Structure 1
């Protein structure tokens, strides 16, 4: 589950019209959300608030061996008019689940955010500042994000910790998103790492006016690559990947397929995720190393629990989607107050779902279980890890995370 500060940062992306999915770094985000979820260990408490649309605060307390905690503050020059009370948050906006990719859109025109007063421009670029102090370690984490232009984003993050080499590290990321393609350039003070990423989307260019008059595409195919090199340790790496995913106009089940390759390490990974119904998603991943011939399989699912008076059987949902098409289903589901399969939020009322169950298992029978939901005014995540091959100690960990925001 996203923390409150993650939720606010995602709101900043949305309010500033930045597409996080049009990036090579999020190529496998759907599979990661379904398979690589973290199960909490120990007890975690979070108390947060959004007193103004521009300022957010959060305090946390952890009990994992030792008692520690943190407090954080966030400032956004762009007002974030989003629900902040944990009792009013839409669970789909705070739970990492199946991610439906939306159609490509052209960048906003340069004059879109211009503000003039008495013949002078008085607008400022959207900026986000975030800081978090960990106690008693006295470690500091900061983030600076700025929308330079409608197509550019600068993101600088830093960590100050005596336990790290040189006392900390800095990571700078410069992103360009032109709709049709995107590029990223990064620098890390750790080993003086330099990197570049790129993603290209096949099909019509959303910046072309003629593309707007064409029927919506049912799917999109993307390809990308990255390369990085450490100046100090004189080592580098490359990777490449492709993604095929359906769009909301697709007439059947949404699904996403990815294939990534790291030729230097010999790692090949393929994933397949499908939204099998309004409240069920399945995913599998196959990893293979063609140097050592080692392989691994990981499968998982997420099952949303709907309230009894709003439950829809998966079989009926599938037949209705195929028979009537996406637009009819979206209208019907929106009228019922449910979240559509396309990922569009139909309602922020907490009457739609009560929680989501996530399960994953690999070829070694290591199982992860996670239940995320809402109880009264609290958001919670409870999970455990199991190792069925170790009969003397099957349970590997158990944890509970509770969040309250106002």
Structure 2
């Protein structure tokens, strides 16, 4: 489940019209959500508040042998409108599951805020500032987001910790989204790492829509209700004199697809010899499956992992639903409220992960456990419980 500050950052991107899925770094987001979900460790409590549309705070207290915690503060120039209270928040926006990709669209300029300064109307470049202090280690984490233009976003991540070689590190990331393709340029003070990423979407080009019919031009992949994307990344460290490269493909169905939604990805790291393929399918409204196969061409080692996601929704009484259809058939269908989500995964090494996330009155609860089937003496591994409350 997303932490409160991550939930607010997602709202910042959504309200500003930034497409987080149109980047190479998000190529395998669906498989990551279904297979690599985090299992809580120990007991942890989150108390958060969005005191105004521009300012939020969050406090965390946990116990994993020793008492630890963190203090978080967030400010954004973009007034956010979202259900911030845990009682009114929707689990669909907090639980990261199967990711449905929408049709491509060019970055919109209508989401930019216009302000009047000196008799001139200018566009305000929205920004977000976030800081988090971890206790008792006194580690400081900071994030700065700046929407430079409708198709450009600057992201700065910083960490201050005395245990690091230079006492801290800074990561700068410049993202460009042109709809049809996207690019990312990054630099890290840790080893002076520099890199570039790119993603290209085949088919419909949102920059040149069909002006005659107002609809996207016909294309084989568009006709099938799917989108094929290809991307790659290259990075190099002059200090360590080492680098890396990877490339990947993704095919996913779009909302116009009439069958089951599904997503397929293939990523390759030629220098390390790693190959990874995933397949995720939304088998029903409340059910999703995912599988991943990893193989190394140098060592011939392979790993297989499968996962399932099951959503539990509140069921209406049969007599209530019957009366509704009989008396008022013109009423629109009401979306059923989600009570909880169950996630499970297992790999070929016998390691099982279970996670149950639900809303309990005004609290958001995450309960998880890890099981190792090959350790008969101690099969039950980590067990954790997280409770969140926001106002």
Report the equivalent of 1:346. none
Distance change (3 Å), C-alpha of 1:215 and 1:301: farther
Following the alignment from structure 2 to structure 1, what is the Cα–Cα distance between the partners of residues 236 and 75? 34
RMSD value, Cα: 1.8
1:116 Cα offset (Å): 4.1
* Secondary structure of 1:93 counterpart: helix
1:122 Cα offset (Å): 4.4
* Secondary structure of 1:5 counterpart: helix
Which range moved further: 144-153 or 107-116?
A: 107-116
Report the equivalent of 2:195. 195
Matched residues, number: 373
1:119 Cα offset (Å): 3.7
Calculate the TM-score normalised by the size of structure 2. Answer: 0.92
* Secondary structure of 2:13 counterpart: helix
Per-residue CA distance 1:53-78 (angstroms, 9 max, x = gap): 00000000010111011111000100
Following the alignment from structure 2 to structure 1, what is the Cα–Cα distance between the partners of residues 179 and 202? 11
Which range moved further: 158-167 or 222-231?
A: 158-167
Q: After superposition, where does 1:142-181 map in structure 2 within 5 Å?
A: 142-181=142-181
2:199 maps to 1:214: no
Report the equivalent of 1:329. none
2:369 aligned to which of 356, 377, 384:
384
8 Å contact from structure 1 (residues 110, 150) kept in 2: no
Report the equivalent of 2:334. 337
8 Å contact from structure 1 (residues 169, 188) kept in 2: yes
Report the equivalent of 2:288. 281
2:165 maps to 1:135: no
Report the equivalent of 1:290. 297
* Secondary structure of 2:21 counterpart: coil
Unmatched runs of 5 consecutive residues or more in structure 1: 312-331, 339-350
Report the equivalent of 1:368. 353
Which range moved further: 273-282 or 200-209?
A: 200-209
Following the alignment from structure 2 to structure 1, what is the Cα–Cα distance between the partners of residues 4 and 275? 35
Per-residue CA distance 1:233-282 (angstroms, 9 max, x = gap): 01000000000000011001100000000000000000000000000000
Q: After superposition, where does 1:114-129 map in structure 2 within 5 Å?
A: 114-116=114-116, 119-129=119-129
Following the alignment from structure 2 to structure 1, what is the Cα–Cα distance between the partners of residues 165 and 359? 40
Calculate the TM-score normalised by the size of structure 1. Answer: 0.89
8 Å contact from structure 2 (residues 230, 248) kept in 1: yes
1:227 aligned to which of 234, 242, 255:
234
1:215 Cα offset (Å): 7.0
8 Å contact from structure 2 (residues 156, 172) kept in 1: yes
Report the equivalent of 2:70. 70
1:113 Cα offset (Å): 4.3
1:213 Cα offset (Å): 1.8
Q: After superposition, where does 1:67-106 map in structure 2 within 5 Å?
A: 67-106=67-106
Following the alignment from structure 2 to structure 1, what is the Cα–Cα distance between the partners of residues 263 and 210? 27
